[in-house]
Structure 1
């Protein structure tokens, strides 16, 4: 049952890209599933061709429903391995967790205020480094 608008935490409304990160699929997979009437439930903000958002609790419920009787723990295992449980994040995952755009993550890495590691072509930001970076941001003064 959909929640009332007043009870929705806006941080729980995920873009297709963020939902794909959470489910560990490509954004194109979610787009294809939408066009075929399959996949997790989504919210269209306006008419045809407008923005689409996924409600995080709906995604988690949908993922649990995908488990079969033979493999009951697959959905729970995937959810336990979500980006919030990892030791290191891609720049996209770090941006999603920090609630900022990825360009700010790359600017922070370039300036040296957010350390990042490289493994081949992959860029990894450690959990503690992301947390330290967020804690080092200036506190906004009360107005």
Structure 2
């Protein structure tokens, strides 16, 4: 996998003709792909196929997330991993692409944090007072 560092590498790929570039950020893959006059950005959300229950949990923030973030939830048809995708039209410049990638990575981090919190068992409520209130 290639590592994309800086605006120069991104500009070089954008001005070239390679159909796709795969990058890494932390433990996630990032894919930029040319597709019918558009640029499709993808950020890996999960590395494994989610169970049906996990998939339902991942789908819950989907609609609300679209009000704040540009990425749409998608499932890899071959491997089953979940991805966040965004499609950029009209020959985006390197700055636009970097901003879009940053937004997708922020969305990924937010979703992962929400899912981690939902996966934690709920704490038992504490009683407000150990002494009964007397009239």
Greater fraction strand: 2
- Normalising by structure 1, what TM-score? 0.29
Greater C-alpha Rg = 2
Between the two structures, name the one with larger relative contact order (CA 8 Å, sep ≥ 6).
2
Greater fraction helix: 1
